[in-house]
Structure 1
């Protein structure tokens, strides 16, 4: 059998222009970059992407930036100037993918809508992420991930019953939009290769990305008029699956498989429940979920987390503790699967960053270059599109680039 010579990276040779900022667009760019795409990030001179200054700062730069912009190149370019837009068009002309998460209509106002860009680059794949999408009555409203989570139905389900809805602690709406956008880009690139070389637009709305993962929310309302409500740490309609108090913390137990439930009840000394025919399937357990949860917590509350984990793992019952950042950083399984990588920043610091997901066995992703400082690659990128040193100096003097 003739061996297949694979490229070193799955997306080697794919060029991406990233115009997005903050989370949704740049996370899509990060994902493509991790798997070998050349990602050129366009930032505003002077300020750059606001994410550079979000949360905890080390030597003037957010450590979050080190994750979000690894494997990318940065060009500081004023897109509000005609000259800057001309340079952007030259970059896009040679690109496979354009990522943008401006408010709908922004690029059209600059004469850079998809119709204009596809004239100079018919194969261009354009990922557009916005609050409400490129069409519809809400398209012009400002939208962030938190609003998408609310409109998508997620926020109504988070938190304890009867209390203020809470966020999950991260910008999950933005990240879900980015992942849907990344999938769209890969499908569009495949279609372009297989069916004639034409590109297309991928239109991702934040609330739609959230709504897409809301499971049975709408079918249940459609069929039964049921409006699903917040349920704290429980999983409504699935039993038992909840968080249970221990002497020194909480564990999550998912004992909702029929045979798993029997093993769980045997382990906690409640064979009376495990052998009860009425609890032999999920429907029966859901009817008596309060009784089952009370029995489990009566057992866990008298034990330490470590002891509960040991006992239930031995019984092959899915169980886990609630990890903090310290737990993750010290966990041997994370390290064994290369999910904690050490990255040296361009300021010379070493910082641990998340590993690369998913894991491709033939063409794995890699951490090739640290996140750039603002405009680190401006001159190099401009030379690559044919500008001379004199032209670059003149653009810098006019503050078109930096």
Structure 2
């Protein structure tokens, strides 16, 4: 199976300039790179605010930064100098018929605003991610706090809000951004017209909360979603711990699932008696949810009296949805990583050799493989000579004057 193909990289030949930091826009740029775009990440000399973000390797290099910038080209420019700003403007606007695309979360800078750049290139595609809809600042954890999710996360006895560790809105926003650029490219190819795209992080969170019913529920029913711990709202799902201390997540979404769970745990008769006593039908998801604590009490002993390997073997013979909880360290050595074509070995400068994920999308059996992230300024010379037709002498002058930096 080939690592890449035209079908797997449909945006090959398009050029994107990225001015960014943290998660959303770097993820958008990496996703576009995996779809075939040449993505040029422009950073200030010395790196943007995320260049040394944890986790870091022993060398001090950011594992985080390398993970979100795979497959890009890196240019380092003095973004405060007028000459450096003009260089970036030229990279955006003079990059050929398949260029003219900027993605950024650096808001409020007139020199790379839509108004400034569209006057240089009328078919400009300009995407700006802001924290809030009014253009104000915000990050995943502040946006999440204001939407409501921390108040329904965690154990029912938790006294206050509980943040989850996944930056869900950054990730969702990054994927929305990549989708928006893909649509804008198609629109420009069809009409010759560019696009001005605005994508507030807060709006991504609010839209998701609305789409999933979290905001609609209090509007319509006057009720507030309760905190459930590891249970699943509206369905039967619960965590159980084995005799040897391994925790499993069990989910029963259908009548067949709950019947198989009762059968494997030897509680079929007990579940039937419970249903009769409660006048419940456990083939109905609402009844499974309402009486989840009673069902859990029936199943707990079976898990508590068996070792994890026994539980895994027995559950594997059923339709029940299940998985054992793993740490990141355990997942990293699991065959789902080590034997997964999603992952390929990369040699990342200053970090080392490791398995890195390429594109999770495969088309006709092919996918874009992982490519190591650049070192800051790795591509400054090549990009300026290739894309702006500057001579090595001109680039040397810029480097000596501190306008640009190379690796």
| TM-score between the two structures when normalised by the length of structure 1 | 0.89
CA distance in 2, matches of 1:353, 1:288: 43
Instruction: Select 2:197's aligned residue among 194, 202, 221.
Output: 202
Does the 8 A contact of 2:7 with 2:363 survive in 1? no
C-alpha separation in 1, matches of 2:270 and 2:364: 44
Q: Counterpart of 2:90?
A: 90
Please name the residue that 2:240 is paired with: 244
Please say if residues 254 and 283 of structure 2, whose CA atoms lie closer than 8 Å, have aligned partners that are also in contact.
no
Kindly indicate whether residue 21 of structure 2 is the aligned counterpart of residue 21 of structure 1.
yes
Superposition pairs of residues 123-162 of structure 1, within 5 angstroms:
123-133=123-133, 136=134, 139-140=135-136, 142-162=137-157
Aligned mates of 1:8, 1:79 — CA distance in 2: 34
C-alpha distance in structure 2 between counterparts of 1:304 and 1:261, whole Å = 22
Q: What is residue 383 of structure 2 aligned with on the other side?
A: 381
Point out the more displaced range, 248-257 or 113-122: 113-122
Choose 39-48 or 160-169, whichever is displaced more.
160-169
Q: Secondary structure at the match of 1:279?
A: coil
1:300 aligns with 2:303: yes
Distance of aligned partners of 1:361 and 1:167 in 2 relative to their CA distance in 1, 3 Å threshold: farther
Over 3 Å counting, the alpha-carbon distance change for 1:8 and 1:185 in structure 2 is closer
Matched, 1:309 2:305: no
Matches of 2:358 and 2:149, distance apart in 1: 27
Query: Runs of at least 4 residues of structure 1 off by over 6 A?
Result: none
Q: Give the TM-score normalised by the residue count of structure 2.
A: 0.88
Q: From 341, 350, 370, give the equivalent of 2:353.
A: 350
Q: Which runs of 5+ in 2 are unaligned?
A: none
Alignment of 1:248-263 (within 5 A): 248-263=245-260
Contact 1:154 1:210 (C-alpha < 8 Å) held by counterparts: no
Aligned to 1:289: 292
- SS state of the match for residue 54, structure 1? coil
Decide whether the 8 Å contact of 2:57 with 2:351 is kept in 1: no
C-alpha change, 1:263 and 1:96, in structure 2 (3 Å) is farther
Structure-2 change in CA distance of 1:286 and 1:349 (3 Å): closer
The corresponding residue for 1:186 is 182
How many residue pairs get aligned? The number is 386
Q: 1:9 corresponds to which residue? A: 9
Q: What SS does the aligned partner of 2:404 have?
A: coil
Contact 1:35–1:364 (8 Å) recurs in 2: no
Q: Deviations over 1:129-186 (max 9, x none)?
A: 12113xx3xx33x311111222233222221224232222232232121112112112
* 304 and 199 in structure 1: CA distance in 2 versus 1, 3 angstrom threshold: farther
Match of 1:41, SS state, is strand
* Residue pair 1:36, 1:366 contacting (<8 A) in 2 also: no
C-alpha distance in 1 between matches for 2:307 and 2:176: 40
Shift of 1:26: 0.7
Q: CA RMSD in A?
A: 2.1
1:129–1:205 CA contact under 8 A, matched in 2: yes
Query: For the residues of structure 1 that align with 2:292 and 2:7, how far apart are their CA atoms?
Result: 52
Q: Give the distance between the partners of 2:6 and 2:165, measured in 1 at CA.
A: 39
User: Does residue 169 of the first structure (1) align with residue 165 of the second (2)?
Assistant: yes
CA distance in 2, matches of 1:167, 1:341: 32
1:354 offset after TM fit, Å? 2.7
**Which residues in structure 2 correspond to 1:28-107 (within 5 Å)?**
28-48=28-48, 50-93=50-93, 94=95, 95-102=99-106, 104=107, 106-107=108-109
Which is further off, 300-309 or 66-75? 300-309
